[in-house]
Protein backbone atom coordinates (compact mmCIF):
# COMPACT_ATOMS: atom_id res chain seq x y z
CA UNK A 1 0.00 0.00 0.00
CA UNK A 2 2.87 2.35 0.83
CA UNK A 3 4.52 1.82 -2.55
CA UNK A 4 1.22 2.37 -4.34
CA UNK A 5 0.41 5.51 -2.35
CA UNK A 6 -2.71 3.96 -0.83
CA UNK A 7 -3.93 4.52 2.69
CA UNK A 8 -6.89 3.39 4.76
CA UNK A 9 -9.71 5.82 5.43
CA UNK A 10 -11.14 5.66 8.95
CA UNK A 11 -12.32 7.93 11.72
CA UNK A 12 -9.29 9.57 13.26
CA UNK A 13 -8.51 10.17 16.91
CA UNK A 14 -8.01 13.93 16.72
CA UNK A 15 -11.02 15.55 18.36
CA UNK A 16 -9.85 19.18 18.75
CA UNK A 17 -9.41 20.43 15.20
CA UNK A 18 -9.97 24.18 14.78
CA UNK A 19 -11.97 25.49 11.83
CA UNK A 20 -10.87 28.46 9.77
CA UNK A 21 -13.05 31.51 10.18
CA UNK A 22 -14.56 30.45 13.53
CA UNK A 23 -14.19 32.92 16.40
CA UNK A 24 -11.80 32.11 19.26
CA UNK A 25 -12.28 33.33 22.82
CA UNK A 26 -9.80 33.92 25.66
CA UNK A 27 -9.29 31.50 28.54
CA UNK A 28 -11.15 32.96 31.55
CA UNK A 29 -10.35 30.46 34.30
CA UNK A 30 -6.69 31.21 35.07
CA UNK A 31 -6.48 31.93 38.81
CA UNK A 32 -10.28 31.88 39.17
CA UNK A 33 -11.76 30.45 42.38
CA UNK A 34 -14.66 28.13 41.57
CA UNK A 35 -16.85 28.00 44.64
CA UNK A 36 -20.43 27.24 43.60
CA UNK A 37 -22.47 25.06 41.21
CA UNK A 38 -23.24 26.43 37.75
CA UNK A 39 -20.44 28.96 38.03
CA UNK A 40 -18.38 27.16 35.37
CA UNK A 41 -19.31 24.33 33.04
CA UNK A 42 -16.86 22.58 30.73
CA UNK A 43 -17.13 20.22 27.78
CA UNK A 44 -14.91 18.09 25.60
CA UNK A 45 -15.01 15.21 23.13
CA UNK A 46 -13.19 11.89 23.35
CA UNK A 47 -13.10 8.94 20.96
CA UNK A 48 -14.13 5.37 21.75
CA UNK A 49 -13.15 2.37 19.65
CA UNK A 50 -15.95 -0.09 18.91
CA UNK A 51 -15.90 -3.22 16.77
CA UNK A 52 -16.87 -1.30 13.62
CA UNK A 53 -14.70 1.78 14.14
CA UNK A 54 -14.60 4.92 16.25
CA UNK A 55 -17.46 6.85 17.83
CA UNK A 56 -17.27 10.11 19.76
CA UNK A 57 -18.46 10.97 23.27
CA UNK A 58 -19.18 14.54 24.36
CA UNK A 59 -19.96 15.39 27.98
CA UNK A 60 -20.72 18.57 29.92
CA UNK A 61 -19.61 18.79 33.55
CA UNK A 62 -20.05 21.28 36.36
CA UNK A 63 -16.52 22.15 37.52
CA UNK A 64 -17.47 22.84 41.15
CA UNK A 65 -18.99 19.40 41.72
CA UNK A 66 -17.55 17.38 38.77
CA UNK A 67 -21.15 16.33 38.08
CA UNK A 68 -21.83 15.06 34.55
CA UNK A 69 -24.77 17.23 33.49
CA UNK A 70 -25.37 15.73 30.05
CA UNK A 71 -23.64 13.63 27.40
CA UNK A 72 -24.08 12.41 23.84
CA UNK A 73 -22.51 9.76 21.59
CA UNK A 74 -22.16 10.20 17.83
CA UNK A 75 -20.53 8.35 14.95
CA UNK A 76 -19.68 11.67 13.27
CA UNK A 77 -17.71 14.69 14.44
CA UNK A 78 -20.28 17.34 13.49
CA UNK A 79 -21.48 19.93 16.00
CA UNK A 80 -25.02 18.58 16.36
CA UNK A 81 -24.40 16.07 19.16
CA UNK A 82 -22.49 18.73 21.14
CA UNK A 83 -25.36 21.19 20.64
CA UNK A 84 -27.87 18.54 21.80
CA UNK A 85 -25.84 17.95 24.99
CA UNK A 86 -25.66 21.70 25.64
CA UNK A 87 -29.38 22.25 25.13
CA UNK A 88 -30.24 19.35 27.44
CA UNK A 89 -27.89 20.58 30.20
CA UNK A 90 -29.38 24.08 30.10
CA UNK A 91 -32.96 22.76 30.03
CA UNK A 92 -32.38 20.56 33.11
CA UNK A 93 -29.76 22.39 35.20
CA UNK A 94 -30.07 26.07 34.29
CA UNK A 95 -27.47 28.49 32.94
CA UNK A 96 -23.80 28.69 33.97
CA UNK A 97 -21.89 31.95 34.27
CA UNK A 98 -18.92 30.65 32.23
CA UNK A 99 -18.66 27.83 29.71
CA UNK A 100 -15.19 26.44 28.93
CA UNK A 101 -14.25 24.39 25.86
CA UNK A 102 -11.24 23.64 23.70
CA UNK A 103 -10.87 25.23 20.26
CA UNK A 104 -12.42 22.33 18.35
CA UNK A 105 -14.65 23.23 15.42
CA UNK A 106 -17.74 21.83 17.17
CA UNK A 107 -17.39 24.36 20.00
CA UNK A 108 -16.34 27.34 17.88
CA UNK A 109 -19.20 26.77 15.42
CA UNK A 110 -21.79 29.53 15.15
CA UNK A 111 -24.53 27.10 16.17
CA UNK A 112 -22.82 26.26 19.47
CA UNK A 113 -21.55 29.72 20.42
CA UNK A 114 -24.85 31.37 19.50
CA UNK A 115 -26.67 29.35 22.17
CA UNK A 116 -24.15 30.50 24.78
CA UNK A 117 -24.48 34.11 23.63
CA UNK A 118 -28.29 33.91 23.68
CA UNK A 119 -28.11 33.02 27.39
CA UNK A 120 -25.39 35.67 28.07
CA UNK A 121 -22.92 32.94 29.11
CA UNK A 122 -19.26 34.02 29.07
CA UNK A 123 -17.29 31.85 26.62
CA UNK A 124 -13.87 30.58 27.69
CA UNK A 125 -11.55 28.51 25.50
CA UNK A 126 -8.40 26.57 26.33
CA UNK A 127 -5.13 27.81 24.91
CA UNK A 128 -4.07 25.83 21.86
CA UNK A 129 -2.34 22.61 22.92
CA UNK A 130 -2.97 23.35 26.62
CA UNK A 131 -4.80 20.22 27.83
CA UNK A 132 -4.31 21.35 31.44
CA UNK A 133 -6.77 24.20 30.87
CA UNK A 134 -9.52 21.56 30.80
CA UNK A 135 -7.90 19.02 33.13
CA UNK A 136 -11.08 18.11 35.02
CA UNK A 137 -12.84 16.72 31.98
CA UNK A 138 -9.63 15.00 30.85
CA UNK A 139 -9.71 13.20 34.21
CA UNK A 140 -13.34 12.24 33.55
CA UNK A 141 -12.30 10.60 30.26
CA UNK A 142 -9.59 8.60 32.01
CA UNK A 143 -12.03 7.50 34.73
CA UNK A 144 -14.87 6.45 32.44
CA UNK A 145 -12.54 4.57 30.10
CA UNK A 146 -10.66 2.66 32.79
CA UNK A 147 -13.66 2.00 35.05
CA UNK A 148 -16.20 1.18 32.36
CA UNK A 149 -15.38 1.23 28.65
CA UNK A 150 -12.16 -0.83 28.68
CA UNK A 151 -13.67 -3.35 31.11
CA UNK A 152 -16.95 -3.79 29.27
CA UNK A 153 -15.56 -3.95 25.72
CA UNK A 154 -18.69 -2.55 24.08
CA UNK A 155 -19.12 -3.77 20.51
CA UNK A 156 -21.85 -1.47 19.20
CA UNK A 157 -23.22 2.01 19.80
CA UNK A 158 -26.46 0.76 21.39
CA UNK A 159 -24.71 -1.21 24.12
CA UNK A 160 -22.25 1.66 24.63
CA UNK A 161 -25.08 4.13 25.25
CA UNK A 162 -26.81 1.77 27.69
CA UNK A 163 -23.55 1.19 29.53
CA UNK A 164 -22.69 4.90 29.72
CA UNK A 165 -26.17 5.72 30.99
CA UNK A 166 -25.65 3.28 33.85
CA UNK A 167 -22.06 4.36 34.51
CA UNK A 168 -22.75 8.10 34.62
CA UNK A 169 -25.62 7.47 37.03
CA UNK A 170 -23.15 5.58 39.27
CA UNK A 171 -20.50 8.28 38.76
CA UNK A 172 -22.84 11.10 39.85
CA UNK A 173 -24.74 9.34 42.63
CA UNK A 174 -22.41 6.72 44.17
CA UNK A 175 -18.76 7.21 43.23
CA UNK A 176 -16.83 9.09 45.92
CA UNK A 177 -14.18 11.59 44.81
CA UNK A 178 -11.05 12.31 46.79
CA UNK A 179 -10.93 15.89 45.46
CA UNK A 180 -14.49 16.42 46.74
CA UNK A 181 -13.59 15.33 50.29
CA UNK A 182 -15.08 11.93 49.46
CA UNK A 183 -18.48 13.26 48.48
CA UNK A 184 -20.23 12.21 45.29
CA UNK A 185 -20.75 14.81 42.55
CA UNK A 186 -24.48 14.87 43.33
CA UNK A 187 -23.82 15.49 47.02
CA UNK A 188 -21.43 18.33 46.26
CA UNK A 189 -23.74 19.88 43.63
CA UNK A 190 -26.80 19.73 45.90
CA UNK A 191 -25.04 20.66 49.16
CA UNK A 192 -24.67 24.28 48.13
CA UNK A 193 -28.42 24.53 47.51
CA UNK A 194 -29.10 22.97 50.94
CA UNK A 195 -26.75 25.47 52.61
CA UNK A 196 -28.49 28.34 50.84
CA UNK A 197 -31.91 27.12 52.06
CA UNK A 198 -30.68 26.74 55.64
CA UNK A 199 -29.19 30.25 55.63
The rounded distance, in Å, linking the Cα atoms of 139 and 116 is 24
Q: How far apart are CA 16 and CA 8, in angstroms?
A: 21
Residue 185: what pLDDT? 97
Q: What is the pLDDT of residue 8?
A: 43
pLDDT at 47: 95
Write the CB contacts of 38 (distance below 8 Å, at least 6 apart in sequence).
62, 64, 93, 94, 95, 96, 97
Order of strands across the sheet that contains 53-62: 68-74, 53-62, 40-50, 98-101, 122-125
What are the helix (H) ranges across the chain? 80-93, 105-108, 110-118, 135-144, 150-152, 157-173, 185-198
Within 2-74, strands assigned E span 40-50, 53-62, 68-74
**What integer pLDDT is reported at residue 192 of this predicted model?**
73
Confidence at residue 197, expressed as pLDDT on a 0 to 100 scale = 42
**Rounded Cα–Cα distance for residues 154 and 159 (Å):** 6
Question: pLDDT tens per residue, the chain (199 residues)?
Answer: 444 444 443 444 544 455 455 688 999 999 999 999 999 999 999 999 998 899 999 999 999 999 999 999 999 999 999 999 999 999 999 999 999 999 999 999 999 999 999 999 999 998 765 556 678 999 999 999 999 999 999 999 999 999 999 999 999 999 999 989 999 999 999 987 655 444 4
pLDDT computed for residue 129 by the predictor: 52
Domains of the chain, residue spans: 40-127+134-198
Cα distance between residue 183 and residue 17, in whole Å: 35
What CATH number labels 40-127+134-198? 3.30.420.10
Report d(CA 120, CA 112) in Å as an integer: 13
Amino acid sequence: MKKSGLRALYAGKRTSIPAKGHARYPYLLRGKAIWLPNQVWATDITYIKLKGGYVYLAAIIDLYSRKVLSWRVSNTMDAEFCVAALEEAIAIWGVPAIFNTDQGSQFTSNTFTQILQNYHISISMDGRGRWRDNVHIERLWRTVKYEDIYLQGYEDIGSLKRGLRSYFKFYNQERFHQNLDYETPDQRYESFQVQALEA
